[in-house]
Amino acid sequence: MKLLMTVLGLSLVFVFVWERVDMVRLGYQIERLKQERTLLERERDELQVKLSALSAPDRIAKIASEQLGMSLPQQGQVIMVRSGPAIPVPPPADPIEVRVAKNQLSGGLR
């Protein structure tokens, strides 16, 4: 009986000590993971800023015109058409003349 009590008492002490040690160990682990998360978040933010800077319309337009030789469509080169049911359009007086490069029209429009 005496032995049993001693063993029980000792194991209680061990459990207590083990718990404390494990808590400290987990504390370090939490701290390490937190730091890792901070670093990853920082990297994500840096990449986000980089992405935003690279996709700035200023930059895209510059590359398009200077490196790729693109230019803005001239007046009337882009024509938006409605899809779906036709909306009645009042009869035109004089249609506005717009010049369109031949290769920009599909067969259907011709």
Partner 1 sequence: MAGTPFRGRRYVVLLLLLGGFGVVLFRLVNLQVLQAAELTVKADRQHQKTVSLEGARGTIVDRHGKTLAMNVDVPSVFGIPTALDSPAKTARHLSPVLHVRSDELERKLRQDRSFVWLARKLDPEQGRRLEQMPLEGIGVVMEGRRFYPKGPLLSHVLGFAGMDGEGLEGLERRYESLLHGEKRVTVLQRDALGRTIFPKGLAEQSPSPGRSLVLTIDEVVQYIAERELEDAVARTRAKAGTVIVMEPETGAVLALAVSPRFDPNAVASLAADQWRNRALTDAYEPGSTMKAIVAAAALEERVMKPSTMVFGEYGQMTVAGTVIHDHDKLGWMTFAQVIQKSSNIGAAKTGMALGEQRLYRYLQAFGFGQRTDVDLPGEAGGLLKQPRDWGRRSLASISMGQEIGVTPIQMVAAIGAIANGGALMKPYLVSEVRDAHGQLLKQIKPEVKRRVVSPDTARTVTSILEGVVTGGTGTKAAIPGFRVAGKTGTAQKIDPRTGAYSSTQFVGSFVGFVPADHPRLAMIVVIDEPQGEAWGGVVAAPVFRRVGEQVLNHLGVPSSEPVKLVMASERG
**Per-residue tokens: 90:** 């009042």
- Rule CB under 8 A: which of 30-69 touch partner 1? 30-31, 38, 42, 45-46, 48-53, 55-58, 61
Q: Contact between 20 and partner 1 (CB under 8 A)?
A: no
- Rule CB under 8 A: which of 91-110 touch partner 1? 92, 95-102, 105, 109
CB of 6 to partner 1, least distance (A): 29
From residue 12, how far is each of 8, 20, 26 by CA, in Å? 6, 12, 21
Q: How far apart are CA 9 and CA 3, in angstroms?
A: 10
Q: Contact between 81 and partner 1 (CB under 8 A)?
A: yes
Number of residues in contact with partner 1 under rule CB under 8 A: 41
Nearer to partner 1, 67 or 103 (CB): 103
- Interface residue with partner 1 among 67, 71, 75, 106 (CB under 8 A) is 75
64: which residues sit within 8 A by CB, 6+ positions away? 70
From residue 16, how far is each of 3, 10, 25, 29 by CA, in Å? 20, 10, 14, 20
